[in-house]
Every structure is written in structure tokens, then in C-alpha cells.
Structure 1
Amino acid sequence: MQAADVKAASPTTITSEQIDRVVESAMKTFNVPGISVAVIKDDKLIHAKGYGVRDIKSKLPMETSTLVGIASNSKAFTAAALAILVDEKKLSWNDKVNNIIPEFKLYNPYVTEEFTVLDLMTHRSGMGLGAGDLMFFPDGSDFTIKDVIHNLRYLKQTSSFRSQFDYDNNLYIIAGEVIKRVSGLSWEEYIEQKIMQPLQMNASAASITRLKNAGNKVEPHVAVNGQLQVVPFRPNEVINAAGGIYSNIDDMSKWVRMQLNKGSYGDKRLFSEQAQHEMWSPHTIIQMGPNGGPYNTHFNSYGIGWGINDVKGYKQVSHTGGLLGMVTQVTLIPELKLGIVVLTNQEQGAAFSAITNTIKDSYFGMPVVDRVKEFADRQAKRNGEADKMVAEIWKAIDEQTKANGKVKLNTAPYLGTYKDNWFGEVSISVGKNGQMQFASKRSPALIGDLSFYKGSTFVVRWHDRTFNADAFVNFQLDTDGNASAISMKAISPLTDFSFDFHDLDLKRVEKQ
């Protein structure tokens, strides 16, 4: 492990040694190779340390300077960029998006006409959770921002406009384009010049391709059958405004100090206190259960680029971020002048939650609770239920295969090219192994073998086993018994929502 130099601060209710112990316990329990943690209190960095390794191959140490993809914690940077433009009177939160981007169009014409910059940022569009994310996830190397703008018109609303919270990424991509068209700078240039440079976030960059020192960065890791694997690097510039920033805890601690100082850092002011009030105010209510949990939470909501709720009577401003093989969390308790940053190189969100909650507990004066065990038990229950469900599906497939014996499946009714208006073409063909195969034209990583399940439904098993996203592929048959369309759905409830197969409406356009 490696620690940064930190300034002397007033005593805290949790020691660095106690933080060390909970981090090491979380790493071991959740199989995380590397974690870095920063704690900011009363405008001072009181704990900053890297633990473990950047990747399991090189085994180079995780340092406070090691760069990590902060994923959706980038959204708060996009929010801050817009806030600066609002302060400068170049933009209003209530400006209509189609006045800035004339080609912007959603499925519902009324929603298109009424849609504001604020709506881009608050997850209340009416589109479903993660709608359209397959344009950039897991690779989406063929899609451009122009494509995203055009394709939004094909994504149907699943709820009425401004009626409920459904997290999205694509509208933040549009927000990045708003920044470009209003400021004259690309989103990447604006973030680096107007936010990172004033904060002296010198190692950070708005995307991985813009890093000055890419040698000291983590590799993402995913557990496959209990064994960690390094995830192949798939650069994607389209997603930057929603999740592209790379940073480290040295730099993120400066970002947090600025946030806790209401937009000021040293003698610089990035945005006004009014702008921060707007970003930290609830704009979309998030449904929560009747149990307030360990922190007696009464409400949950989304502001602008931040989640807003209450914990033990304090306002909490926070966000998480997740890329394939990396997850991060930033937590602010403004009334306590407390900030916590946890960056990791594995996709176990339980690790950052256990670490953050342990630190919060100490400042809330709560009894000591083993948060690592708490999240491990919760995860084991959730994973056990999902694994049982998936195992039953594959068991049924195996039994079906044995029952059919040597009877060869007639693949002819299914083979051909299918097209979705926003995702493009996929092909159903017979692979070299004699098995039917699904392959996406525009997202090349999505290729896998199809196994017969029942009726006209198959299951695709992706060749890349780091996805945890095997999916039902249901063929709709016409009166002649030939497939005319495909609908899809992930088989596991734990599949990342960005694999939004259920949003696809694939129509057959060519027979093979």
C-alpha cells in the first residue's frame, strides 16, 4: 500500500489504521485487487492511501496517483460545466434542448418540444432504465454522438414525461453536446480547461485517450467462475460526458474540497453558491422502500449530477460510477464538511459501500458494525438467488438437448439479418461449430452461440464470459413458421442494466 502526504488535521473518530483494516477486509472478502481511499474533513485531506495492486498481471502497487475510470461520477463534472455556463448567462437550465440542438428528437413529439437542459440531467425523460446504452456498452465502437442524437427518436417512453426516475446515460451525452455548442469547446476541452485546470487536477483527463501519464492506471477486473480476469480495454469516446473521466484520489480530493466549499477552491470560484444549491436540490424523487435502513433515511432523490438523500438527519450528496471491471463512489456530508472517495478496479460495489459506510458510521457516532460482513451476507443472498435462477435455465436447456438426441434442429426459419432502428443489424447464422450464432454488426463484442430453450426461444451465451449478460432470444414466427422478429431479455436479474436488450425491436430484413 502507498500513502500520500496529508496535512495535519483535527482528530477524527476513525483512525487511518481502522480504515486500513476495513479496506483490507473488503479487498479480501470481495476479491478486489486494488482500492484507493481519500477522506476529506474540514477542508483537509486527512487520509489518502492506495491498497493492493493496479492489476493482477503486473502486480504494480495501487497508489494515490493511480488513475481509475470514475465512470458515472463524471456526471457531476458535466453538471458543474453547465452550472458555469448558467452563471455566465450563456445558458439557462430551462432552455429547450431543440433550440440548441435542432436535430434533437425523442419518440414523443410533445416531450421533444418541452424537453429542457434540466431534463437532460435529472433522469425523468420517460425512457426506461439505461435505454439505448447498447450504443456504447460493452463496446459500441461504431456509434458516434451524431448517431446517439439521431437514434433517441426510436427509444419509446416506458413512463410519462417527468413522472418517475429512470437512470440514463445517453441524455448526458446530449448534455455534453449542449456544452460544446454553447461554449465552442468540446466537452473534453471544457472540463479540462474550466474545471480540472483551476483545481490543479493535473493527472486527470476527460477521457482515457487524453491522459498524460497512462502508465499509472488500473486495469479493470471481472470475476468469471470465481477467478479474476483482466477485462480487454475497449476505448469509447462517445460516453465521455456520462462516464469518461479518469482521475485518482489525489485529484478527486481537490474536486471534493471544492464541492464542500460551495464552488470555491483557494482563491478561485468555479461556480456560484446558487448554482450549487440548484445541483444539490432534489429534482426527481426516487422510490424507496418503507424501511429507512441503518441511517433512518426518509427520502431519496436525484439532483443535477448527484444523488440527494438524508442519512442520520444529515443531507448526503453522493454518486457511484461503474464501468465493466471498475466501480467508484464519491460521498459528501456537507454539514459535517466530510467527503469520502473510493476508487476500485473490480466491479464489486459492495466493497466501496462497506468502506464508505464504515467511515460514515464513525462520524455519525454510530455503534461499530461489521459493514463488510453485512454487505457480504446481502450479496451472497442476492447472488445465490440469481445463480439458482440461471442454473435452472441452463439445466432445462441441457435436458432439452438430451431429449432431442440426434434430431437436428431446423435452423432455416431463424437464419438471416435482423435490424433494430437504433441498434442496427444483427445476424443469425450457423457458426463453425455447427451451432446457431448471434452477432451484432455495430457492437462486435456481442457475439455468442444460441442454445434452444423452448418454443421459439433460445438463449445466447456470449463468447466474452466477463459480461454476465447471457440473454433470451425470442423469435416471433409468422403463419408459415418463419421468424419475422426478435425480442431479447437478460436471463439474470444481476446483469448490468446497460445491456438493455429488452429495448431492442429487431425485425427480419433478409433471409439467409
Structure 2
Amino acid sequence: MLRIALLSSALVAGLFLSAKAQSVSTTVGPLDVAAVDAVVARTLKAFNVPGIAVAVVKDGQVVMSKGYGVSSLTTKTPVDANTLFGIASNTKAFTTAALGLLVEAGKLRWDDKVTDYIPEFKMYDPYVTAEFTVRDLLTHRSGMGLGAGDLMFFPDSTDFTIKDVIHNLRYFKPVSSFRSKYDYDNNLYLVAGEVVTRVAGQPWADFVETRLLKPLGMSRSATLFSRLPDPTNVIDGHGPVEGTVRVIRRDLGTVGAAAGGMYSSVADLSKWAMMLVGGPGAPASLLKPKTQHELWSAQTILPVGPVPAAYLPYSYNTHFAAYGLGWVLRDVRGYKEVSHTGGQIGMVTKVTLLPELHLGIIVLTNQESGAAFTAITNTIEDHYLGMTGLDRVKLMADLTAASKATDGKATADVWKQVAAATKKPPSGPIIRLFWAATTMPGWVM
């Protein structure tokens, strides 16, 4: 969904992607929860985040599930494991799982044409329209530009309907050839949600809640804020406004639900993660192995860049990265990592799975700092990958500072050009919304 990045994607992408071999510890002990507590406390302060919730599942058990800080700077209510956050684009994995259930039922195939189910679907190019498949809706390779058309449902002051979104896709001129290039997209996930609606014979929201959330016991979660059964323990979103972190008005839009509308807690998402990664005591999978394999198979290649020498100790020795069906895939120190991030106004989140280790890491925040969830996620991942002595909080703080300095110079240069063109000094604030290209899992939203 909305993807707000504080660091340049090129710098962050290079940080964790390296082909230099490193030694890995063969023995990993239990997670030191107190040490994680200390890292989260530093993260709250370093990135000015009011509240964070963290959960870790391993071998079919919940290792930790905790809240930190406050859910709102207005109410000062403490965050706990049941506090609800907007998980934004982590919703996409539920949409692809819903489609997977319909594939299993024989009601559609991944490579069916979209027009088989939505006859009015039309892209700019007639050939692309004719060839566009359900799989293409999910893999960010349509040829449209990064974030094209998102203003049709963001912010929630717009009045577009799903019918309008589908109709208007025909007007977006491509910036690359069909299936040739990765450009993150939300609108085609809205179309995917409409495919679920038409094939299942019930709204996407109802299908996801009855076929995925309820069977897993995710009783506090819902596909939209307005559908929450109990909205009393819900975070407020926060973001920097004129240099101060403040509560931001909640986005109550409904059209973008299938791309990023869900609300959930780390307690509920732990059940989702355990179902996916398995292990002794984990819930029975709602998906057949073939379906889960398809969701986690590479569909669209993502670039893997070199790491500056100073950051090699922090590298996960990644060689390949790709987008699957609602998930980002890469290799980390010999293991397959399956992850996604999400960003709504005032909140960003990340879910990370290492299926071979039966490991899941969930970090939900109520501020717009991706550096915060990256520092915590990578600290926990370091433990299970046998990497020690790395201060992820300091690293991300240093990178954030460097990025702000670069952005500040770029902003000043733009204002100089404006002043020269208008022959008068600039005034007023600049609001910068970055739709950062997804080149590594920490920044997909």
C-alpha cells in the first residue's frame, strides 16, 4: 500500500545483499527475550515511535508476543499483544491465499485470463488486456509505473469505487513492456480481490474472514477497520508533522481493502505465521502444499546489488531475490526467506518467515519509520542465523541520518530552482511521499 521510506532504496538494498561468504554458527540457543526488550526500547527512542508490538514463533510455539510503548500519544494507552494495527500490504498475502483456496476448489486457475471473470477489465494495450492472467495481477509486472493510479483510493477523501478503478486502468500508459520489469502496484490487487468476489460468490472481505481468519482463531482481526468486532484496543497512526511526531487522522477508505485494508494484532498474526511455517504444535495448514509452494515461488525478478565494504558484516549473503504471489522471496545465509512489509498513513509493519527453520517474526509499529521494524526484525533474525555482535539499531539510525542529509540537500536544490524561476523566495512546508522501488524485502509495503 502506501510506501513511505526514510532511507534511499538503493542504500538499503545494498546493505543486506552480498555474495561474500560468512561463517554461520551451528548451534542456536533460545531467543533472549530480555535482549529483544532492550532492542525495542532503544528502537522506540531512536526512531521516535510511540508504540510497537513484536511476536516470534518457532517450531510451532509462540516464543514471544508483546507490546511496547503506547498505542496513541493522545490516550497514552499501553500497547499489548492484542493491540490492533493496520497491516497494510501484508494483506496481500491473505488475498493470494484466498485465490489459492479457489484454485484448490477447481474454481479458477492461476493462469486463467482476467477477462474470463471480469469481462470489462481493460489495460492500455489491447494485447496486454487479452493476455493478462490472474497471476499477472499479483506479481507487479504489468508495465504500469510504480504506484500508478493509487490516488484513486488514497487518500480516503476520494470517491472512486472498485468499478471506477477497473474502468480507469485502461488510461494508464505503460512505462515498460508487459512482464519485463518490476514496478510495485496496488490497483491490480484490488482487481484480484474482485476476482475472489465474483468467483466465490461473496465479497472478498467475507471470504477472507470466513475461510482464513475464523478457522485460525484470528478473532480480533478484520479485513477493514470498519469491520473490527472490537475496536477498543486499536493504535492511532503517527507521523512527523513540522518536526514533531503527532497523531494522524486514520485512513478509513474501503476500496483498497484487498491490497492493504486489514487490521490485526501480533497475537492473531502469530497464528497465521505458525500455520504457514509449520512445526510441532502448529495449526494445520489451510492451504495444500502445492498451493503454498506456488505462493512462495519466484515470479518476478528483483535486483540484488553489491554491498559497500563497511556494511559487509551486516550482510545476509543474499544472491537472489524475487516477488512471489503476495510475498517477497530471497535467500539469507542459505535459507529461504519469505517476507512482506506494509505501510498505511501513520503505521508500518513487517512479517518475515523462514519456513525451513519454522520461524516467523512479526513487527507492527504506529509510526512511519521502516528503520524501526528493520532494526528489530534483523536483530531477531540475526539470532536464529547465528550472527552475533551486530547493533542493528545504531546501523539503521546512522543510515537514517545519512539519508535525511541527502534528502535535505535535494530539497534545498529544488527550492533554489523554484526561487530562480519565480524570482522570489520560497515559502511553506514540503510534504514528501516516497514511492520507493522495492529492491529488498525491508521496504515492500
- The TM-score, its normalising length taken from structure 1, stands at 0.76
Equivalent residue for 1:35, pick from 23, 31, 52: 52
Quote the residue 1:288 is aligned against.
304
Q: Does 1:351 align with 2:372?
A: yes
Unmatched tracts of structure 1, length 5 or more: 1-9, 406-450, 452-458, 470-494, 499-512
Of 345, 355, 366 in structure 1, the residue corresponding to residue 387 of structure 2 is 366
> Displacement, 1:222?
0.5
- Please identify which structure carries the higher strand content: 1
Asked if the contact 1:130–1:497 (Cα under 8 Å) also holds between the matched residues in 2, the reply is: no
1:123 aligned residue (140, 155, 169): 140
Specify which structure has the bigger relative contact order, considering alpha-carbon pairs within 8 angstroms and separated by 6 or more residues.
2
Larger-Rg structure: 1
CA positional deviation for 1:396:
4.7
Q: Determine the structure 2 residue equivalent to 1:112.
A: 129
Q: What is the CA-CA distance between 1:76 and the residue it aligns to? A: 0.2
Query: What's the Cα RMSD here?
Result: 2.1
Residue from 334, 340, 352 that aligns with 1:313: 334
Distance in 1 separating the partners of 2:349 and 2:178: 30
- Offset at 1:393? 2.5
SS in 2 for 1:308: strand
Q: Does 1:180 align with 2:197?
A: yes
Residue aligning to 2:347 = 326
- Residue 231 (structure 2) pairs with residue 214 (structure 1): yes
Residue of structure 1 aligned with 2:36, choices 19, 26, 32: 19
Does residue 385 of the first structure (1) align with residue 406 of the second (2)? yes
1:362-410 Cα offsets, whole Å, 9 max, x none, are 1111122000111111111111111111123234545666x559xxxxx
Deviation at 1:78, TM superposition (A): 0.2
Q: In the aligned structure 1, how far is the partner of 2:101 from the partner of 2:200?
A: 10
1:420-439 alpha-carbon deviations (Å, 9 max, x no partner): xxxxxxxxxxxxxxxxxxxx
**C-alpha deviation, 1:164, in angstroms:** 1.4
Q: Which amino acid aligns with 1:78?
A: T
- CA gap 1:295/1:144 in 2 versus in 1, 3 angstroms: same
1:149-164 pair list within 5 angstroms = 149-164=166-181
8 Å contact kept, 1:295–1:312: yes
Do 2:190 and 2:258's aligned partners in 1 also have CA atoms closer than 8 Å?
yes
Deviation at 1:130, TM superposition (A): 0.8
Match of 1:103 in 2: 120
Within the candidate set 41, 51, 54, 2:71 is matched to 54
Q: CA deviation at 1:128?
A: 1.1
Match of 1:6 in 2: none
Q: Does 1:394 align with 2:415?
A: yes
Segments of 4+ in structure 1 off by > 2 A?
10-14, 138-141, 290-293, 391-401, 495-498
Contact 2:59 2:282 in 1 (8 A): no
- Matched position secondary structure for 2:376: helix
Q: 1:77 aligns with which of 94, 118, 129?
A: 94
1:172 and 1:404 map into 2 onto residues whose CA distance is: 45
The size of the alignment, in residue pairs, is 405
Q: Which runs of 5+ in 2 are unaligned?
A: 1-26, 438-445
**Relative to 1, partners in 2 of residues 1:120 and 1:404: Cα closer, same or farther, differing over 3 Å?**
closer
Residues 158-213 of structure 1 show CA distances to partners (whole Å, capped at 9, x for unaligned) of 11111111110000000000000000110100010000000000000010000111
What residue in structure 2 maps to residue 139 of structure 1? 156
Q: Does 1:231 align with 2:248?
A: yes
Partner residue, 1:468: 432
* Kept after mapping to 1: 8 A contact 2:28/2:384: no
Deviation at 1:132, TM superposition (A): 0.6
Q: Is the 8 A contact 1:205 1:246 kept in 2?
A: yes
Q: Distance in 2 between matches of 1:288 and 1:187?
A: 35
- 1:428 is matched with none
- Using the alignment, how far apart are the partners of 1:382 and 1:376 within structure 2? 10
- Select the structure that is richer in helix: 2
Q: In 2, Cα distance between the equivalents of 1:133 and 1:210?
A: 23
Change beyond 3 A, Cα 1:41–1:329? same
- CA-to-aligned-CA distance 1:117-153 (integer Å, 9 cap, x gap): 0000111111111111111122253111001000000
2:296–2:325 contact (8 Å) kept in structure 1: yes
TM-score w.r.t. the length of structure 2 is: 0.87
Indicate conservation of the 8 Å contact 1:361/1:368, yes or no.
no
Q: Percent identity of the aligned residues?
A: 52
Check whether the contact 2:304–2:318 (CA below 8 A) recurs between aligned residues.
no
Cα-to-partner distance string for 1:291-329 (whole Å, 9 max, x where unaligned):
386001001100101000000111000000001110000
Contact 2:136–2:142, Cα closer than 8 Å, also in 1: yes
Q: Secondary structure at the match of 2:99?
A: helix
